[in-house]
């Protein structure tokens, strides 16, 4: 019983119920319409098509809202996990800024499988365009996830329209940077998500014993070089190593493929 009450507080569950009720009601109305029963209600036969159209619109809107609630729930879960990580007393994982961080070329010199997640990754992709192209052509596989440029609108996605516009332009610039590389190799795959991740990920050879997962936290304000990050391995914290790997895979499965055409 408590679990049922908890479900009723879940917006996604409520929308599922609403969709089921509307779909059932439409099916019943159409079935009864074939019997001519609605002729006793003078206004209904002439307006039946309009009512069905409105019902379909409601179903579409509720489906969009349900997807949005699912994405927001995912973000909330990740934030809770990050709070738990910040409180963790495990040794071997330290928060640091980018000062003194080894260059991407040095870290990926032996890499065969690289996954990247970020709002737009424009800085990394612009600075390492040639290196990424070279690595991809040599056989290294890249999976890249960024926020869909179409996610940004005048109405929101960020605190100000100007900030959203800048992020949209950065995302489009990142795509233009990747496009020549994508067209010349099959080892780079780009996908889009409809949310702003609260962290970026760099995952290097996740299935190997020397694999690394770098998690960098986005800031409300401040230079990119000040963003705190931590690096996870199977030896210093396997639980969180697997957790962030799985988070990337989950986003990848639900992301939209980039269509270069």
pLDDT single digits (tens) 106-139: 999 999 999 999 999 999 999 999 999 999 999 9
Question: Residue 18 and residue 174: Cα distance in Å, rounded?
Answer: 40
Question: Residue 65 and residue 63: Cα distance in Å, rounded?
Answer: 5
Q: What is the pLDDT of residue 225?
A: 81
Give the highest mean pLDDT range of 58-72, 143-157, 180-194: 180-194
**DSSP SS3 for 203:** strand
Kindly indicate the confidence band of residue 1, based on its pLDDT and cuts at 50, 70 and 90. very low
Question: Residue 149 and residue 17: Cα distance in Å, rounded?
Answer: 32
**DSSP SS3 for 189:** strand
Q: Does domain 104-257 have CATH number 1.10.3720.10?
A: no
Cα dihedral: 153, 154, 160, 163 (round 10): 50
């Amino acid at each position: 019983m408590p679990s049922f009450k908890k479900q009723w507080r879940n917006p996604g569950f409520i929308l599922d119920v609403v969709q089921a009720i509307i779909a059932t009601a439409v099916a019943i109305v159409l079935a009864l319409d074939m019997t001519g029963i609605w002729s006793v209600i003078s206004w209904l036969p002439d307006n039946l098509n309009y009512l069905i159209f409105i019902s379909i619109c409601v179903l579409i809107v509720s489906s969009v809202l349900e997807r949005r609630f699912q994405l927001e729930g995912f973000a909330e879960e990740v934030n809770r996990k990050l709070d738990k990580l910040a409180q963790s007393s495990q040794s071997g994982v330290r928060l640091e800024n980018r000062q003194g961080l080894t260059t991407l070329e040095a870290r990926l010199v032996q890499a065969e499988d690289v996954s990247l997640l970020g709002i737009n990754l424009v800085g990394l992709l612009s600075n390492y365009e040639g290196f990424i192209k070279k690595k991809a052509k040599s056989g290294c596989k890249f999976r890249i996830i960024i926020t869909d440029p179409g996610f940004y609108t005048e109405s929101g996605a960020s605190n100000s329209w100007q900030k959203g516009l800048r992020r949209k332009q950065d995302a489009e610039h990142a795509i233009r940077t990747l496009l020549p590389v994508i067209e010349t190799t099959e080892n780079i795959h780009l996908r889009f998500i409809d949310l702003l991740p609260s962290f970026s990920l760099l995952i290097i050879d996740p299935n190997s014993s020397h694999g690394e997962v770098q998690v960098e936290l986005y800031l409300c304000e401040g230079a990119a070089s000040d963003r705190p990050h931590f690096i996870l391995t199977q030896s210093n914290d396997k639980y969180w190593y697997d957790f962030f790997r799985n988070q990337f895979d989950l986003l990848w499965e639900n992301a939209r493929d980039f269509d270069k055409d």
